């Protein structure tokens, strides 16, 4: 049973090594990619569970750290660890294990760790577990090598059990004010005005980096009007997307970096080319926030 994975395709745009001891998530997002396809019944469970073959949390930690120690040089050269593609690392059922793996990787091996979540209340867990004192007032090494990202769509109705987007941004503000690197995944863009508003609010909360991507099906951008859980949305318009890009680059100039995911590039027809005038402040998919 492997806990580490080497993502490909769209996933690699978030991290080149991921830690995945759990499958499933309680957020209930109506657009969740894990619920799609033939493996959806297994990967898209509504409650997180340990992978088959993983006995308990202690076993998950041992398996993960064994693999991380065996690959740590490659992991560091590839930018660090991403947590996680198969669950949320900051919900009640998973956060203890993920936090232990993150701290061990940073303290013992100097590996950068990137967290992406739709949660906000994990701060309360830290307080209860007396972890907050160490994180917020303790090790400079942990603060320099641990980054927190939040998925922000601006559509709470599509993420019924996740923390409201506003609450995620408030937690970002708190974490950012305490010296951690923070970033946002603006994916999927449901509509351009909502995403632009999320970017504006995240910037005011101290966000340093954005990854921006469109809704896809089988890795291809959705080109028609679409429904998510009974909610109707308009197809992406190329001209609207170009205006959105210009607005984002003006808004973030000098304040944060932006990675435009392949889905955005495909929609406006520039493939892998990173350089057009209005993208001069954007970065590549291998951008390392820890060197920001």
The CA-based angle 257-16-152, given to 5 degrees, is 45
Domain count, the chain: 2
Q: Looking at residues 167-173, what average pLDDT do you find?
A: 96
> Which of residues 81, 98, 117 is at a domain's end?
117
Task: Indicate the pairing of strand 181-189 with strand 231-233.
Answer: unpaired
- Asked if residues 149 and 183 have their Cβ atoms less than 8 Å apart, the reply is yes
Q: Report the distance separating Cα 85 and Cα 259, nearest Å.
A: 19
- On the question of pLDDT at 130 being above 60, the answer is no
Q: Looking at residues 128-144, what average pLDDT do you find?
A: 61
- Range in 7-11, 52-56, 273-277 with the lowest mean pLDDT: 273-277
* pLDDT top residue among 68 and 38: 68
Task: Check which CATH number belongs to the domain holding 260 and give it.
Answer: 3.20.20
- On the question of pLDDT at 154 being above 80, the answer is yes
- Asked if residues 204 and 197 have their Cβ atoms less than 8 Å apart, the reply is no
The pLDDT score that the predictor gives to residue 229 is 86
- On the question of pLDDT at 286 being above 50, the answer is yes
- Range in 11-15, 112-116, 150-154, 206-210 with the lowest mean pLDDT: 11-15
pLDDT band at 127 (very low <50, low <70, confident <90, very high): low
> Which of residues 92, 117, 142 is at a domain's end?
117
Would you say residue 12 lies in a domain? yes
Same domain, 66 and 181: no
Same domain, 26 and 154: no
> Can you tell me which residue has the tokens 């203890």?
96
Q: Report the distance separating Cα 181 and Cα 277, nearest Å.
A: 28
The CA-based angle 114-118-123, given to 5 degrees, is 75
pLDDT in tens, 255-284: 999 999 999 999 998 765 544 445 666 898
The pLDDT score that the predictor gives to residue 41 is 64
- On the question of pLDDT at 173 being above 70, the answer is yes
Same domain, 151 and 289: yes
In 172-256 the beta strands, taken as DSSP E runs, fall at 181-189, 209-214, 216-217, 220-221, 226-228, 231-233
The pLDDT score that the predictor gives to residue 126 is 63
242 lies in which domain range? 128-292
- On the question of pLDDT at 206 being above 80, the answer is yes
- On the question of pLDDT at 292 being above 80, the answer is no
Checking 93-97 for CB contacts under 8 A at 24+ apart, the result is 93/22, 93/26, 93/47, 93/48, 94/22, 94/48, 95/122, 95/125, 96/57, 96/125, 96/129, 97/21, 97/22, 97/57, 97/60, 97/61
Across all residues in the chain, what is the average pLDDT?
88
Same domain, 159 and 56: no
Same domain, 148 and 261: yes
Q: Which of 72, 67, 111, 114 is nearest to 89 (CA)?
A: 114
- On the question of pLDDT at 227 being above 80, the answer is yes
pLDDT in tens, 58-77: 999 999 999 999 999 999 99
The pLDDT score that the predictor gives to residue 277 is 46
The pLDDT score that the predictor gives to residue 5 is 94
> Which of residues 117, 144, 171 is at a domain's end?
117
% of the chain residues with pLDDT over 90: 66
Q: Looking at residues 232-250, what average pLDDT do you find?
A: 94
- Asked if residues 185 and 191 have their Cβ atoms less than 8 Å apart, the reply is no
Task: Tell me the H-state helices in 110-182.
Answer: 122-128, 132-137, 140-145, 165-177
Between the CA of residue 240 and those of 144, 222, 237, 259, what are the distances in Å?
37, 15, 5, 18
- On the question of pLDDT at 138 being above 70, the answer is no
Q: With a threshold of 0.75, does the pTM exceed it?
A: yes
Same domain, 104 and 2: yes
> Can you tell me which residue has the tokens 């499958």?
23
Same domain, 3 and 92: yes
Would you say residue 123 lies in a domain? no
Q: Looking at residues 174-178, what average pLDDT do you find?
A: 89
- On the question of pLDDT at 19 being above 90, the answer is yes
Same domain, 105 and 188: no
């Amino acid at each position: 049973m492997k806990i580490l994975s080497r993502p490909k395709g769209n996933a690699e745009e978030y991290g080149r090594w991921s830690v995945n001891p759990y499958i499933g998530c309680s957020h209930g997002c109506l657009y969740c990619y894990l619920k799609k396809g033939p493996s959806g019944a297994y990967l898209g469970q509504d409650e997180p569970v340990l992978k088959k073959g993983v006995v308990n949390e202690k076993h998950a930690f041992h398996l993960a750290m064994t693999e991380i120690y065996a690959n740590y040089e490659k992991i560091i050269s590839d930018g660090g660890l991403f947590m996680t593609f198969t669950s949320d690392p900051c919900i009640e059922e998973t956060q203890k294990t993920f936090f232990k793996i993150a701290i061990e990787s940073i303290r013992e091996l100097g590996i950068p760790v990137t967290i992406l979540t739709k949660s906000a209340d994990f701060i309360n867990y830290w307080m209860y577990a007396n972890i907050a004192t160490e994180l917020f007032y303790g090790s400079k090494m942990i603060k320099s090598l641990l980054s927190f990202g939040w998925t922000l769509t601006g559509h709470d109705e599509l993420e019924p059990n996740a923390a409201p987007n506003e609450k995620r941004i408030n937690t970002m503000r708190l974490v950012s004010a305490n010296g951690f690197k923070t970033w946002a995944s603006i994916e999927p863009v449901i509509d351009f005005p909502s995403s632009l508003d999320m970017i504006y609010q995240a910037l005011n909360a101290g966000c340093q980096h954005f990854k921006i991507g469109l809704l896809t099906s089988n890795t291809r951008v959705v080109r028609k009007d679409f429904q998510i859980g009974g909610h109707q949305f308009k197809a992406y318009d190329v001209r609207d997307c170009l205006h959105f890009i210009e607005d984002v680059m003006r808004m973030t100039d000098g304040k944060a970096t932006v990675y435009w995911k392949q889905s955005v590039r495909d929609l406006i027809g520039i493939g892998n080319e990173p350089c057009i005038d209005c993208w001069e402040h954007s970065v590549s998919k291998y951008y390392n926030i820890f060197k920001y």
